[in-house]
Amino acid sequence: MTLSTPIVAGNWKLHHGPSATTAFFREFLPLLPTERRASVAFFPPALSLPAAADALTDRADVLLGVQNIYWETSGAFTGETSASMAAEAGARLALIGHSERRHVFGESDAEVRRKIRTALDAGLDPILCVGETLEQRDSGAATEIVGMQLESALSGLTGADFDRLIIAYEPVWAIGTGRAASPDDAAQMHRHARQILVRHSDGARRTVPILYGGSVKPDNASALLAAPEVDGLLVGGASLVPAEFALICAAADQVR
């Protein structure tokens, strides 16, 4: 099943353990119509995936993903989560290269590339996250940095891989700061990403969705979704609150 756009994804980061996950969905699911245009996905902490999968037993319209994977399937890798185990626990998607993975945990472009391949091979659709820091933006290097992250992650992918890939542009300075990119800035970077994608995915059957992430809230969701080339949203803080995330999903349903 390929996801149809717009896509609204909630990244819970290190929030909501199993019991908070159950409580979240008890409150959230009645707020989300089953008949809608937007695809909706959640990325709970790996330990909460089974609780989320349980809560979604009767809601196949809501998808789950894992926030990070390791490239080995099993073995002496203390603390890691494999793609196949995440899939067994209910994940259909995997966030790869989120800015916190890159900047807090030092994940390199090479590791990101390897994880994209691992996700695809294990049947998880990857959401590749890219984005520049404030320093990089202020020095005028934003498009170059995002371009390099994309070029590195996309190298080696084939036509069929592009059918399952999703990109998320998340400027680091916008994540968790309350300062979202303007719809114009988002559109400009998404256009740049699109050009790189077109070059790499020559002959790809599907247009790779490009999501925007960084301080998305109910009051800026519609404007961001209306920006050209913005195919959906990756939401952190506002996805933890059922009523707020439901408003963002509703905004996505009304777009275009």
Q: Closer to ligand PGA by CB, 115 or 200: give it.
A: 115
- For residue 186, the minimal CB distance to ligand PGA (Å) is 13
- Catalytic hit among 98, 190, 192, 200: 98
- Kindly state whether residue 107 participates in binding ligand PGA, applying the rule CB under 6 A: no
Q: Which of residues 157-176 bind ligand PGA (CB under 6 A)?
A: 170, 175-176
Question: Which residues within the stretch 174-193 sit at the binding site for ligand PGA (CB under 6 A)?
Answer: 175-176
Q: Quick one: which segment of 34-42, 154-162, 197-205, 229-237 binds ligand PGA (CB under 6 A)? A: 229-237
Part of the chain binding ligand PGA (CB under 6 A), chosen from 77-85, 181-189, 210-218, 246-254: 210-218
Q: Is 170 a catalytic residue?
A: yes
Distance (Å, rounded) from C-alpha 212 to C-alpha 161? 21
| Closest CB 205 distance from ligand PGA, rounded Å | 28
Stretch that binds ligand PGA, among 114-122, 189-197, 223-231, 236-244 (CB under 6 A): 236-244
Question: Which of 236, 245, 247, 249 is in the footprint of ligand PGA by CB under 6 A?
Answer: 236
Distances (CA, A) of 11 to 179, 211, 221: 17, 13, 15
Question: What is the footprint of ligand PGA within residues 8-27 (CB under 6 A)?
Answer: 11
Active site residues: 98, 170
Give the residues lining the site for ligand PGA (CB under 6 A): 11, 170, 175-176, 213-216, 234-238
